[in-house]
Amino acid sequence: MLTENQLRRVVALRRALHDCPERSGQERRTMAAIQAFLSQNTALAVRDMGGWLLATHWEGDDLPAVGFRADMDALPACNEIGARHGCGHDGHSAMLCGLGLLLEGRRVGKNVHLIFQAAEETGEGAKRVIDTWRALSTLDAIYALHNIPGHPKGTLLMRRGCFACASCGHIVHMTGRPAHAAYPGDGANPIGPLCRLTLEIPEMIADILAGSDRLLMRTLIGLNAGGEDFGISAHEGRLCQTLRGHRQRDIDALIQRTEACARASCRETGMKCDFEIRDAFPDTTNDDALFDAAMNRFQAANLPVRLLGEPMRWSEDFGWLLRETPGVYFGIGAGEDCPGLHTEGYAFDDDLIETGVRAFGALLGL
C-alpha cells in the first residue's frame, strides 16, 4: 500500500495533469509531467516511444513480463485551453504512477511495463503502441482499468468474457445516374435501395444472433440522398450507421451481409456502391484464466469486487491490445452520484486513487 506521503504526491500529480488537459495525440506536456514524476520518484527506466511513454521495472532476463496500461488524453472542450479531463484519464495515469512508487525497491519475480498510452478517445493510441513496440505480443498479461460512475465508489467491477462492446461506424454510399424528373426511368435512383437496405438490417441481425442473448445492434446515424431540386431524380445517397455488439465477429458478419445486399441491389439497378468503416473498436474481452487469477488476487487483498451482469455498451481501444496479448480490463466504481463520463459535471475523484493503486499492486502480489 502507498504511504500517506506517497499518496499525497500521486494526488498532486493527478491535479497537475488535470490542469494541463491535452486532446488525443497532443499529450506532450502530460507526458513531460509523468516522465518528470517517475524520474524524480522512482528508478524505473522511462522511454519516450514517440507519442507514448514506457516505464519499465526490470528484474532480469527470462522472467515473465506483464504490462499495465493507462490512458492520458483529455476531451475537446469549449474552454480557453480547448480540452478538459472529462473521462478521468488524468486519474488513470496518476494511478499507474502510483504503481511505479509501489514497485520501488521491491521484487515481484516479473518484469513490469507501465504503458502510458495517448489518444484513447479516438481509438488511435493503442494502435500506435502495437506499431512501435514489438515486445507487446510477448507479454504474459496486460491489465488496465477505467473509473465508472454509477457504481459504488471504490468497488472493483469485474466481468468474465466480454467487458465492453465492439463498435464501429459503417457508411454505405450508392451512386446512380441523374435523370429529368419527368423521365426517372432514364436514371438510377438510390433512395429506394437505400431505404430497403435500411429496413432489412434488423432481420440480418436476428439471423446472425440466431436466438443467442449476445448483443448486436445497429443505430441509424444518417440517411441522406438527393436534394431539393424537384426537376431532378436523385442519383446519390448514403446510409451511416453505428454497429455495436459483444463480439467483433458478429459485427464483421453484419458488415459482410449488408455490403453483399447493397452490391446485389446496385447490380440490379446499374448503380455503384462503396463502403467505409470509421472509429473501429474491437470488443474488450478478458482472458478466462487471467480473470480467475485476478479475482483471487483481489479477494485475497480484501478489495471489494462486484460482478457485472452485462458488458458495458461503450467501447475501449484496450480491445486492440487484447488482440495482441491476453489480459484483463476492469472498472472501479466512481460513486452512484458521480456525473457520467464525458458529461459537463464530471471530474475524476481523487478518493479512487488509493484503491486503483492497490488493485494494480494486488495483481503483482504487492
Residues binding Zn ion (CB under 5 A): 87
Nearer to Zn ion, 23 or 153 (CB): 23
Nearer to Zn ion, 87 or 254 (CB): 87
Least Å from the CB of residue 256 to Zn ion: 29
**254 to 75, 194, 257, 328: CA distances (angstroms):** 31, 16, 5, 27
Nearer to Zn ion, 87 or 239 (CB): 87
Residue nearest to Zn ion (CB): 87
Residue 270's Cβ-count burial label (10 Å; 0-12, 13-18, 19+) is exposed
Least Å from the CB of residue 122 to Zn ion: 10
The DSSP line for 197-221 is HHHHHHHHHHHHHTT----EEEEEE
Q: Are 155 and 305 in contact (CB under 8 A)?
A: yes
Least Å from the CB of residue 158 to Zn ion: 18
Nearer to Zn ion, 121 or 250 (CB): 121
Residues with Cβ < 8 Å from 34, sequence gap 6 or more?
13, 17, 53, 72, 93, 97, 116
Which of these, 33, 31, 111, lies nearest to 71 by C-alpha position?
31
Least Å from the CB of residue 211 to Zn ion: 33
Instruction: Please say whether the dihedral angle defined by the alpha carbons of residues 349, 350, 354 and 357, taken in this order, is positive or negative.
Output: positive
Least Å from the CB of residue 45 to Zn ion: 27
Helix (H) or strand (E) holding 228: none
Angle at CA of residue 244, ends 25 and 335, nearest 5°:
70
**248 to 78, 117, 243: CA distances (angstroms):** 34, 23, 10
Nearer to Zn ion, 6 or 52 (CB): 52
What is the DSSP-derived secondary structure letter of residue 364?
Answer: T
Least Å from the CB of residue 120 to Zn ion: 6
Nearer to Zn ion, 296 or 343 (CB): 343
The DSSP line for 278-293 is EEEE--EE--HHHHHH
Nearer to Zn ion, 87 or 164 (CB): 87
Nearer to Zn ion, 158 or 205 (CB): 158
Least Å from the CB of residue 150 to Zn ion: 14
Least Å from the CB of residue 316 to Zn ion: 7
